[in-house]
Amino acid sequence: MSLSVSRLEAARSLLFVPGDRPERFGKAVASGADVVIVDLEDAVAAADKERARAEAAAWLAAGNSAMVRINAPGTPWSDEDSAMAAACGAPVMVPKAADPGILADFARRTGGKCPVMPLVETAAGIERAVEVCAAPGVVRVALGNVDLAGQLGVAHDDHEALAYSRSRLVSASAVTGLSAPVDGVTTSVQDTEAIAADVVRARRFGFAGKLCIHPAQIAVVAERFAPTAAEREWARSVVAAGESVTVVDGHMVDKPVLERARRILAADG
């Protein structure tokens, strides 16, 4: 059973699980994450890549659902990772995404069977964000903040330093008609205050989901990405005011504001 595109587009919490740790696959699903990502890339040592791919294939073939983070195109493992994902009909996270031609080639080789979520984690990917978002098969994009920060020479948790990159992904997603992007990881695994603060900042930028590295992060991400009580109350009052330009609580309401209110209520549903 593969993950639907609509589920990928709406997911708030996306949890990585190492591909060479099959005993954790079921626990990842039980965490309540909207999407589980079986990771064949960074979480797996080179010597264990083939075993991880086999474990992922067996689990998916048994009827389980997950996204697969393949190894980056051009590495020795990428082609076989892609073939496995296509055979299972699994959506794919493509790391180091920067070249729309490579993404188009991936879509061609997999026969369009795999919805694609590019992980944008290089300066080149940020600068070509619109092209990446518009590539064939892409349903949503995610930010790889740790790798990107390393290339830029800044701290991965420095929100000011990565503000430009985040804004580029949000804008590129909007202009190409994709769902709002997925923010990168918070490396403080058990620090709920840190991840809550990160989600609040991500929402302000326009992100609507977050990559997670531990089940303890899932509940906080789900809660903080959901509309607040004040947002829901505001949205209901705006929608109730009707289609015409009007004033609600002293502020002008026109079509763009009404559309935002409807999005909030839809996200709450």
Q: How far apart are CA 134 and CA 103, in angstroms?
A: 10
Q: Is 53 annotated as a binding residue?
A: no
Q: CA 71, 209, 235 angle in degrees (round to 5)?
A: 160
CA distance 148 to 247: 43
Distance CA 122, CA 117 (A): 15
| Structure-token match 């549903």, residue found | 269
User: Known binder of ligand: residue 243?
Assistant: no
13 closest CA partner among 254, 208, 247: 208
Q: Consult the annotation and say whether 147 binds a ligand.
A: yes
Tokens of 104: 């188009």
Residue spans of alpha helices (H) in the chain:
5-10, 25-30, 49-61, 78-88, 100-109, 123-127, 129-133, 145-152, 163-175, 192-205, 218-225, 229-240, 255-268
Q: Annotated binding residues for Mg(2+), as ranges?
A: 121, 147
Q: Annotated binding residues, as ranges?
A: 69, 121, 147
Q: Annotated binding residues for substrate, as ranges?
A: 69, 121
